[in-house]
């Protein structure tokens, strides 16, 4: 926002706060869990409430992250322009948004299988704990992956009321995928993290350690997708989707290397959105036909 210009409408500022466009990372994998759970198209009722639960949960997670990290963000040139540090949103506005997001999540959960009525606190605890972890341990990346990996697991439980091993393996695939690309994301803030005394795989193991960890995590992602497929009655399109994920991950890793991070934005933001949408498309078509 330039000097003298009118502020953006409140909904637009809240959308920027939670980076609503990044919902593409997690929401497709919730759909993957839903379709694989029944090996068909779930009911419109279930898909609607799973979608709303995901929107509420992800909005809550991002808003809590911004609230808890507001002080750190203000001291980081890359994040100082975010809505809270820059004063575009007040703490009270973000707290109210968190309450509304939690309410949406809970309403949606109560429209789904009774199993998730008992499990809903688990992701909320994960959301609250995550922002604090980088103050203590470089394992924060893995925690973030596990929290996001709950998306397909939760969708599976929300439809069937069951949690077979295939659901957990699918969740592990998403957890490893997210943790792997979060290692790339940590490269943006190496200098600031060291200055602030924050923990990440980059501050602990260096840039090469982050690249090695990302490669290992993404290789394990493909292994988990294969294992899940072997335990499910999937068709050829599922396996084409797994092949597409493997190729896209390989391309993502070809975009950046230690000492050359010029295409890091493309590797992190663009490619990971493409990966989630492409895999979900293959799975949805495979299950629906």
Domain-located, residue 4: no
CA-CA distances (angstroms) from residue 130 to 20, 40, 144, 170?
19, 34, 7, 21
Q: What is the CATH number of the domain that holds 238?
A: 1.10.357.140
pLDDT (0 to 100) of residue 2: 47
3-state helix, strand, coil in the chain (%, to 5): 75, 0, 20
User: Would 240 be classed as within a structural domain?
Assistant: yes
- Residue for token pair 């949805």: 284
Give the model's pLDDT for residue 259. Answer: 76
How many domains is the chain built from? 1
Distance CA 249, CA 30 (A): 20
pLDDT in tens, 140-195: 999 999 999 999 999 999 999 999 999 999 999 999 999 998 998 888 889 999 99
pLDDT at res. 28: 93
- Give the whole-angstrom CA distance, residue 21 versus residue 118: 30
Question: Which phi and psi angles does 260 have, rounded to 5°?
Answer: -140, 90
pLDDT of residue 5: 59
Residues of the chain with pLDDT under 50: 1-3
What's the pLDDT score for residue 188? 84
Q: Does 100 fall in a domain? A: yes
Helix (H, G, I), strand (E, B) or coil at 34: helix
Asked whether residue 34 is assigned to any structural domain, the reply reads: yes
Look up the domain containing 229 and give its range.
10-288
Residue 3 lies in a domain: no
Residue 155, in any domain of the structure: yes
Name the strand (E) or helix (H) holding 102: helix 91-109
pLDDT of residue 267: 67
Find the Cα–Cα–Cα–Cα dihedral 196, 199, 204, 205, rounded to 10°: -110
For residues 19 and 185, what is the distance between their CA atoms, to the nearest angstrom? Answer: 15
Distance from the Cα of residue 79 to its chain's centroid: 19
Report the number of secondary-structure helices (H) and strands (E) in the chain.
14, 0
pLDDT score at 256:
82
Q: What whole-number distance in Å separates Cα of residue 95 and Cα of residue 12?
A: 16
Q: What are phi and psi of 139, to 5 degrees?
A: -75, 5
- Is 2 contained in some domain? no
Residue 73 lies in a domain: yes
pLDDT of residue 123: 96
């Amino acid at each position: 926002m330039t000097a003298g210009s009118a502020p953006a409408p409140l909904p637009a500022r809240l959308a920027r706060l939670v980076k609503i466009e990044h919902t593409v990372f997690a929401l497709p994998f919730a759909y993957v869990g839903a379709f694989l759970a029944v090996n068909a198209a779930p009911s419109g009722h279930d898909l609607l409430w799973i979608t709303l639960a995901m929107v509420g949960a992800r909005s809550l997670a991002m808003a809590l992250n911004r609230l808890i990290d507001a002080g750190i963000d203000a001291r980081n040139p890359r994040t100082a322009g975010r809505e809270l540090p820059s004063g575009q949103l007040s703490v009270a506005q973000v707290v109210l948004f968190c309450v509304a997001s939690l309410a949406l999540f809970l309403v949606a959960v109560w429209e789904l299988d009774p199993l998730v009525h008992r499990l809903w606190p688990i992701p909320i605890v994960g959301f609250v704990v995550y922002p604090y972890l980088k103050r203590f341990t470089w394992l924060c990346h893995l925690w973030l992956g596990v929290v996001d990996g709950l998306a397909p697991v939760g969708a599976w439980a929300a439809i069937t009321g069951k949690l077979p091993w295939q659901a957990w393996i699918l969740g592990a695939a998403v957890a490893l995928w997210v943790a792997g690309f979060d290692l790339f994301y940590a490269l943006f803030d190496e200098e600031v993290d060291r200055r602030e005394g924050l923990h990440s795989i980059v501050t602990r193991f260096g840039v090469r350690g982050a690249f090695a960890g990302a490669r290992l995590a993404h290789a394990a992602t493909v292994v988990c997708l294969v294992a899940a497929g072997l335990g499910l009655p999937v068709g050829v399109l599922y396996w084409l989707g797994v092949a597409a994920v493997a190729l896209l991950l390989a391309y993502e890793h070809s975009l950046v290397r230690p000492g050359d991070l010029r295409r890091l934005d493309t590797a992190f933001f663009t490619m990971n959105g493409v990966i989630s949408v492409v895999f979900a498309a293959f799975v949805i078509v495979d299950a629906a036909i």
